[in-house]
């Protein structure tokens, strides 16, 4: 069964809209979740590391004021793309990290299309 649930799977909205994406860990409590982004024909690129109860750690070049991450509980992290523009259109995917000896488990991703 699924380990990670990501919602919504597909969003189309107008430029300037803010979009919230949810990532839920179904099988275990996750102190750390990761948010990746994938542009067509490119690799998955880590955007930020979401830490339960503390501020997210953003990768270089990722605007923290534009991509708001909240990890309020051990099973839920949210990514909000604020004032989205067409260049933000991408595939956003979260992963959950269990113990140090276990691989990351990924959600099914969110296809975001900004018109």
Interaction site with another protein (CB under 8 A): 4, 6, 9, 32, 34, 36, 41-46, 49, 57, 93, 95, 97, 100, 103-109, 111
Q: Which is nearer to another protein, 13 or 46 (CB)?
A: 46
Q: Which is nearer to another protein, 74 or 82 (CB)?
A: 74
Residue 90: name the closest of 107, 59, 66, 114 by CA: 114
- Of the two residues 14 and 54, which places its CB atom closer to another protein in the complex? 54
> 5 or 82: whose CB is closer to another protein?
5
Q: Strands 110-114 and 10-13, how do they pair?
A: parallel
Query: 34: which strand partners?
Result: 49, 95
d(CA 114, CA 64): 19
CB of 92 to another protein, least distance (A): 11
Instruction: Report the nearest approach of another protein to the CB of residue 16 (Å).
Output: 27
Residues in CB range of 41: below 8 A, 6 or more apart: none
């Amino acid at each position: 069964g699924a380990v990670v649930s990501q919602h919504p799977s597909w969003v189309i909205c107008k430029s300037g809209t803010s979009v919230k994406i949810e990532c839920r860990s179904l099988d275990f409590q996750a102190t750390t979740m990761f948010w990746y982004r994938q542009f067509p024909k490119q690799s998955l690129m880590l955007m930020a590391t979401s830490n339960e109860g503390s501020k997210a750690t953003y990768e270089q070049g990722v605007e923290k004021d534009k991509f708001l991450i909240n990890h309020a509980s051990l099973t839920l992290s949210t990514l909000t793309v604020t004032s989205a523009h067409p260049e933000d259109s991408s595939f956003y995917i979260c992963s959950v990290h269990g113990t140090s000896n276990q691989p990351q488990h990924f959600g099914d991703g969110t296809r975001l299309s900004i018109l």
